[in-house]
Amino acid sequence: MPGRTAAIERNTKETSIVLQIDLDGTGECTVDTGIGFFDHMLTHLAKHSLCNLSVKCKGDLEVDAHHTVEDVGIALGQAIAEAVGDKSGMCRYGFSIVPMDEALVLASIDISGRGSLHMKLNTRKEMVGAFDTELTPEFFRAVCHNAGINAHIRQLEGRNAHHIVEAAFKSFARALREAISADSRVSGIPSTKGVL
């Protein structure tokens, strides 16, 4: 599975994004979206998936953070889809449960080519820094739909919004790390259909 990298440039009237990913990295991350908490979450996503990630986004933050967060999700999903290629030799499935103090979040994913998100988080606090917590599912929906990932993310415990959102990013990252990993026993595409 050599050279699993991708570079995406996405420009709209709302955002301008340059994003690079290396699925076989060490978790290195350089990110600047203009939203401190979101940058922090993307850094966790890189660190715990072991993907090297570079994101530069200039968005219309004078409106709000929605376009920036969603469009970065779109670009990241497109990059993952390109980098996994035909998915030959890949595990395909990933699962993780991550604790963050009192919060506990489960993520289970399938890089099936059929993107969908099934997410249940209960963040009582609307804002964490300049990040609106209701943008969490918007980000993951954009990633999943564009990467062809079927993801289930469930909050099992938690009260603190920062902890809940961070546990969601970390659990997704660790599930992604498992799903994109090479399995020496997998010959070809990990599907009875022969294609994903």
Distant-in-sequence, close-in-space partners of 188: CB < 8 Å, separation ≥ 6: 88, 89, 194
In what helix (H) or strand (E) does residue 70 lie, and over which residues does it extend?
helix 66-84
Topology of domain 5-180, per CATH? Ribosomal Protein S5; domain 2 (3.30.230)
Q: Residues 107-111: what's their mean pLDDT?
A: 98
pLDDT at 3 over 80: yes
Domain boundaries, the chain: 5-180
Per-residue model confidence as pLDDT tens digits over 144-183: 999 999 999 999 999 999 999 999 999 999 999 999 999 8
